[in-house]
Amino acid sequence: MRKGEIERITGSVIITSGIEDISIGEVVEVGEEGLVGETIRIDKFGKLFTVQVYETTSGIRPGEKVVATGKRLVSELGPGLLNSVFDGIERPLEELIKLGGPLIGRGIKVNSLSRKAKWLFKPTVKPKTIVNEGDIIGEVDETQAIKHKILVPIGVKGEVVKIEEGEFHVDDDIAIIQSNGGKVSLKMLQEWPVRIPRPSSKRLPLTTPLITGQRVIDTFFPVSKGGAASIPGGFGTGKTVMLHQLAKWSEAQVVTYIGCGERGNEMCEVLTDFPELKDPRTGRPLMERTLLIANTSNMPVSAREASIYMGATMAEYYRDMGYDVGLMADSTSRWAEALREISGRLEEMPVEQGYPAYLPDRVAEFYERAGRVKVLGKPEREGSLTIMGAVSPPGGDFNEPVTIYTLRFTGVFWALDAELAYSRHFPAINWLRSYSLYSSRLGPAGDLSPKLESISQYSCKLVEWWRETFETFPEYRSEALTILSAAAEIESIARIIGESALPDDQRLTLLTAELLKEGFLRQHAYHEVDAFCETEKQALLLRMMIDFHNKARNLILSRVPIDRIRSLPQISRMIRVKEDKEGIVVIEKLMDEVTGELNKIASEYKV
């Protein structure tokens, strides 16, 4: 056993000595209670090394022992991850409560995956089969929603000598492989270092949108399966509710939700609500395809820093089974603050707003783990990991470092607007500031996103997917964005001279923009009908409003007064039709009524 002792303590960072062969990333146990820590720095003489401790260090004294474990910080991967809640270093909260009560005790050692539970393992290969790393050798019904594929661990290959069906614990031998180095026993349990991305065979272009059922996202600012999106917004703008909606309604087959440094009462709401949510696709509890990582703001700051990597590793594991995985991180700002705090205790040179100079590298490392890939092993399969991270800029300032660096490495920017939120417009995504690099056209005049020289690097053109599904959709989408952009300019003039003084064509633009805002962009997260909007309904709603605008504009150009058009009773129904239970049938009927009324006006004015 390799032992050292504590030399100095600075919050969650301790300086230790006495273990000369320590390595970066090695996990150690600190003090009499055996607090878990990770080696993050070694001096040039190898005499002193620095450890960040994942638990509170109060009461620890210089001179206490430090024991090296010879292991890295790893995630235990196997059946039992889903329908579970873990802390930032993958300790199951339910077990921690049993051992330490409602307040989590220090130094508690508990397995991430239960060693008592048994799982029915069903082999998919036979003896004498040659297998390579990543091959699927069997399945376990982890939940009624997800089949857990048992994979050959990375770095293992050979001939299957023995494999059998039966009920096993995760650490029981389920198969024996004859490799060049001898016989290797395979278990359902695997371990993987959390800071190293899991390998894949090939990265694939992003060609399919992750349908979320949220109109402002799917229609105007889509994210692809395997893409990365950021949701920046100030306090009260709806970041957490937005992530809840994405977790519940998006097409992700497996959901990983990371509560990173959020307030305890907010995380408590997540832990209370998620087990009660029903999966809209299966009718089963949503938790059957969800795993939660809860690391609240009063938990040790270093564990908050590790929680992001822990969640990404678990998500990549299910991606390697061939699933589309959605990772929601709330919020990466708290994670960046943990980096800043640890960096300060390490006495590193700070840069802007006290953040360490390597902040952009860490942000990039996290979001680059997103992607759509051809995974290792047979049978051949594809999987995707879509990362959606909330950012909480102080005071809603999007020019602060975390937001700026996040925008650099993500393809979608859903800008939450405090003014929209306070006016009860949800989702409060500002359609003038947001953009998606996964769309072939970013908005009117191309001015809704940064001027990127290498935009062609994004091989995904999600608008083309919409074109294949609904042929004229890209044109309707583009025209809607143009109307919303033009309305913003007209509104600034109307505040000065009054709307009644505007020309009729500009008043029509304001009317259509209001229809789009209230009847399309606004969406009730808790409405039984409107919480989710299928793509066909989205396309039909948009077509109804843009067709109305174009026909009404032709009438106005023929000297029909705008007030005559505004008096149509169908206009108010166009706003509310999104909530009708009959859905597409009612929308099509309303479209016919609107067309008929506009034709009557044309006859009335002999146009």
Parse the chain into domains and list their residue ranges: 2-72, 119-188, 202-443, 473-604
Q: What is the mean pLDDT of residues 88-117?
A: 86
CA distances for 163 relative to 121, 136, 178, 185, 524, angstroms: 10, 13, 12, 10, 51
What is the CB-side half-sphere exposure of residue 179 using CA atoms within 13 A?
17
Mean pLDDT (the chain, rounded): 90
Residue reference for tokens 């809840």: 244
Phi, psi of 7 (to 5 degrees): -100, -40
Closest to 370 (Cα-Cα) out of 328, 398, 404: 328
Instruction: Give the model confidence (pLDDT) of 482-539 as tens digits.
Output: 999 999 999 999 999 999 999 999 999 999 999 999 999 999 988 989 999 999 999 9
How many CB atoms are closer than 10 A to CB 165?
11
Instruction: Give the model confidence (pLDDT) of 324-382 as tens digits.
Output: 999 999 889 999 999 999 999 888 999 999 999 999 999 999 999 999 999 999 999 99
Instruction: Check whether 440 has a pLDDT greater than 60.
Output: no
Torsion of CA 35, 356, 411, 418, to 10 degrees: 90
Query: How far apart, in whole angstroms, are the C-alpha atoms of residue 255 and residue 20?
Result: 42
Classify residue 529 by burial, with Cβ atoms within 10 Å: 0-12, 13-18, 19+.
middle
Instruction: Kindly give, in sequence order, each residue whose CB lies less than 8 Å from that of residue 316, ignoring residues fewer than 6 positions away.
Output: 197, 198, 325, 369, 385
Torsion sign over Cα 555, 556, 558, 564: positive
Give residue 448's pLDDT band: very low, low, confident or very high (50, 70, 90).
very low
Instruction: Enter the DSSP assignment of 383.
Output: E
Query: How far apart, in whole angstroms, are the C-alpha atoms of residue 362 and residue 40?
Result: 14
CA angle (553, 557, 561) in 5-degree steps = 80
**Whether 106 contacts 55, CB under 8 Å:** yes
Instruction: Give the model confidence (pLDDT) of 33-59 as tens digits.
Output: 999 999 999 987 778 999 999 988 889
Instruction: Enter the DSSP assignment of 520.
Output: I
- Domain at 473-604, CATH class: mainly alpha
- Domain at 119-188, CATH class: mainly beta
Query: How far apart, in whole angstroms, are the C-alpha atoms of residue 430 and residue 521?
Result: 10
Which pLDDT score, from 0 to 100, does residue 302 have?
86
Instruction: Check whether 442 has a pLDDT greater than 80.
Output: no
Instruction: Check whether 441 has a pLDDT greater than 50.
Output: no
Instruction: Check whether 451 has a pLDDT greater than 70.
Output: no
Instruction: Check whether 459 has a pLDDT greater than 80.
Output: no
CA distances for 461 relative to 325, 383, 413, 468, angstroms: 21, 19, 16, 11
Which pLDDT score, from 0 to 100, does residue 493 have?
93
Which pLDDT score, from 0 to 100, does residue 51 have?
95
Cis peptide before 569 (omega within 30 of 0): no
Closest to 82 (Cα-Cα) out of 280, 274, 264: 274
Query: How far apart, in whole angstroms, are the C-alpha atoms of residue 533 and residue 525?
Result: 11
- Least confident among 231-240, 272-281, 367-376: 272-281
- The hierarchical CATH code for the domain 2-72 is 2.40.30.20
What totals of helices (H) and strands (E) does the chain contain, helices first?
A: 16, 26
Instruction: Give the model confidence (pLDDT) of 301-329 as tens digits.
Output: 888 889 999 999 999 999 999 999 999 99
Phi, psi of 402 (to 5 degrees): -60, -45
Query: How far apart, in whole angstroms, are the C-alpha atoms of residue 401 and residue 388?
Result: 18
Which pLDDT score, from 0 to 100, does residue 158 have?
95
CA angle (269, 272, 276) in 5-degree steps = 125
Classify residue 224 by burial, with Cβ atoms within 10 Å: 0-12, 13-18, 19+.
buried
Which pLDDT score, from 0 to 100, does residue 458 have?
41
- Least confident among 4-8, 272-276, 324-328: 272-276
Instruction: Check whether 444 has a pLDDT greater than 80.
Output: no
Closest to 316 (Cα-Cα) out of 390, 256, 404: 256
Superfamily of domain 202-443: P-loop containing nucleotide triphosphate hydrolases (3.40.50.300)
Instruction: Enter the DSSP assignment of 220.
Output: I
Tokens linked to 244: 């809840």
Residue reference for tokens 């930032």: 88
